[in-house]
């Protein structure tokens, strides 16, 4: 069963606005201060009672007390305590509501009814070294949003657990073997509890070296809960650090090197066909030397990042993103790769060196 209110926490106001939009309506823009509305509610109720007027008053104190405050819808407890798993995203539920009379098939079902894989992608929590003076903030993960879009475009059913974005106001401590870290977002246990048990592939974004202890924790707990699900890491640090990753954890099956869109689609296709990933460009496997990362040949043909699968409004509300302006700012990528090969930089391995004409 799936409820439209499922998914990352959302303010009731935002939720109702979205719901109204499915009927091409907008909420009214008039408002009253809370206390004035409450007084009006009491006055109206008293008048209705004293004068024995028919029907119900236009405004009631009890209603003001409920909807006059900021209310947030959360299914967190159902997920963490009961193991509840929603079946689809809120964005998709809203789209179905819009269509109401003629329910639309999920894009995956529409394009590949038989062959759609169920892929779960994880954006790990954001970590900060306790002793570090730098503050990173939480940034919507554009790389993973591109990967999600590519998978969906190929006909797969994609779900995202955005461990940073779903709990932006939470900070716990994470102790690795060498360093203490602040962990912003969901805990490992919460993340792992949210992975659907019938997922066909788990993909985790692993961008920064200092996140590895936390990513390893997620990977190992996910492996313990879902022993047969292939676990794939992708991102900057998976590209640069894959040998150590395999050495330090048995739970990782494969690392996608460099740009992930085309490679992950090929990985899923091969797994579905029961074929080995050996020799696939852009993939590092345990015990097999990797074939160099592939480069997306035509960036203009990439599908746009699947932001609808991420709690973007929560990132924007937190206004915590790194940058000059910390208001409603979103990451954009205007180009990929770099024509140079500075020895200390990973760009050439990551994006494959590009020349100015590319």
Q: CB-wise, 47 or 345, nearer to ligand B12?
A: 345
Contact between 338 and ligand SF4 (CB under 6 A)?
A: yes
Contact between 342 and ligand SF4 (CB under 6 A)?
A: yes
CB of 335 to ligand SF4, least distance (A): 11
Q: From CA 352, how far away is CA 354, in angstroms rounded?
A: 6
Contact between 95 and ligand SF4 (CB under 6 A)?
A: no
- Structural contact between residues 242 and 274, judged by C-beta atoms closer than 8 angstroms: no
DSSP state at residue 345: -
- Report the relative pairing of strands 180-184 and 201-205 from DSSP bridges: unpaired
Q: From CA 24, how far away is CA 324, in angstroms rounded?
A: 35
From the list ligand SF4, ligand B12, none, which binds 237 (C-beta under 5 to 8 Å, kind-based)?
ligand B12
Contact between 347 and ligand SF4 (CB under 6 A)?
A: yes
From the list ligand B12, ligand SF4, none, which binds 125 (C-beta under 5 to 8 Å, kind-based)?
none
Q: CB-wise, 89 or 205, nearer to ligand B12?
A: 205
Contact between 135 and ligand SF4 (CB under 6 A)?
A: no
From the list ligand B12, ligand SF4, none, which binds 340 (C-beta under 5 to 8 Å, kind-based)?
ligand SF4
- Structural contact between residues 223 and 251, judged by C-beta atoms closer than 8 angstroms: yes
CB of 204 to ligand B12, least distance (A): 6
How far is CA 217 from its chain centroid? 18
CB atoms within 10 A of CB 189: 12
Tokens of 357: 């004409």
From the list ligand SF4, ligand B12, none, which binds 109 (C-beta under 5 to 8 Å, kind-based)?
none
Instruction: Give the alpha-carbon dihedral of 191, 185, 152, 192, to 10 degrees.
Output: -10
Q: CB-wise, 155 or 337, nearer to ligand SF4?
A: 337
The DSSP string of 230-295 is -EEEESHHHHHHHHHHHHH-TT--EEE-B--HHHHHHHHHHHHTT---TT-TTEEETTBPPPPPB-
Q: CB-wise, 70 or 340, nearer to ligand SF4?
A: 340
DSSP state at residue 308: G
Q: Which residues, numbered 273-302, are part of the site for ligand SF4 (CB under 6 A)? A: none
- Structural contact between residues 116 and 95, judged by C-beta atoms closer than 8 angstroms: no
Q: From CA 184, how far away is CA 321, in angstroms rounded?
A: 13
Listed in sequence order, the residues at least 6 apart from 128 whose beta carbon sits closer than 8 Å to its beta carbon are 134, 135, 136, 181, 182, 184
From the list ligand SF4, ligand B12, none, which binds 342 (C-beta under 5 to 8 Å, kind-based)?
ligand SF4
Stretch that binds ligand SF4, among 151-159, 199-207, 297-305, 336-344 (CB under 6 A): 336-344
Stretch that binds ligand SF4, among 143-151, 229-237, 307-315, 335-343 (CB under 6 A): 335-343
Residues that bind ligand B12 (CB under 6 A): 121, 126-127, 134, 136, 139, 141-144, 146-147, 203-205, 207-209, 232, 234-237, 240, 256, 259-261, 264, 322, 333, 345-347, 350
How many residues contact ligand SF4, by CB under 6 A? 6
Q: CB-wise, 4 or 148, nearer to ligand B12?
A: 148
Give contact residues for ligand SF4 (rule: CB under 6 A): 338, 340-342, 345, 347
């Amino acid at each position: 069963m799936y409820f439209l209110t499922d998914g990352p926490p959302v303010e009731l106001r935002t939720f109702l606005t979205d719901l109204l939009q499915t009927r091409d309506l907008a909420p009214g823009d008039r408002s009253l201060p809370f206390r004035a509305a409450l007084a009006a509610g009491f006055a109206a109720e008293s008048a209705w009672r004293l004068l024995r007027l028919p029907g119900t008053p236009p405004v009631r104190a009890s209603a003001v007390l409920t909807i006059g405050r900021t209310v947030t819808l959360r299914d967190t407890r159902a997920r963490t305590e009961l193991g509840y798993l929603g079946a689809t995203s809120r964005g998709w539920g809203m789209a179905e509501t819009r269509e109401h009379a003629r329910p639309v098939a999920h894009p995956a079902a529409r394009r590949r009814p038989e062959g759609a894989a169920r892929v779960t992608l994880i954006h790990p929590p954001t970590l900060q070294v306790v002793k570090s003076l730098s503050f990173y903030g939480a940034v919507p993960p554009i790389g993973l949003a591109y990967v999600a879009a590519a998978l969906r475009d190929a006909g797969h059913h994609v779900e995202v657990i955005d461990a940073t974005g779903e709990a932006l106001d939470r900070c716990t401590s994470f102790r690795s073997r060498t360093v203490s870290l602040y962990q912003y977002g969901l805990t490992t246990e919460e993340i792992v509890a949210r992975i659907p048990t019938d997922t066909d592939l788990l993909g985790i974004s692993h961008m920064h070296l200092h996140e590895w202890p936390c990513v390893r924790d997620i990977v190992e707990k996910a492996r313990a809960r879902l022993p047969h699900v292939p676990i794939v890491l992708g991102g900057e640090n998976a590209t640069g650090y894959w040998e150590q990753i395999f050495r330090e954890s048995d739970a990782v099956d494969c690392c996608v090197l460099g740009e992930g869109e085309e490679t992950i689609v090929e990985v899923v296709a091969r797994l579905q066909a029961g074929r080995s990933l050996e020799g696939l460009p852009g993939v590092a496997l345990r015990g097999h030397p990797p074939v160099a990362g592939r480069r997306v040949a035509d960036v203009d043909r990439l599908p746009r990042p699947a932001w609808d699968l991420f709690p973007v409004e929560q990132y924007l509300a937190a206004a915590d993103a790194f940058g000059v302006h910390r208001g409603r700012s979103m990451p954009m990528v205007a180009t990929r790769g770099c024509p140079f090969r500075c020895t200390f930089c990973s760009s050439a391995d990551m994006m494959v060196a590009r020349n100015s004409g590319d």
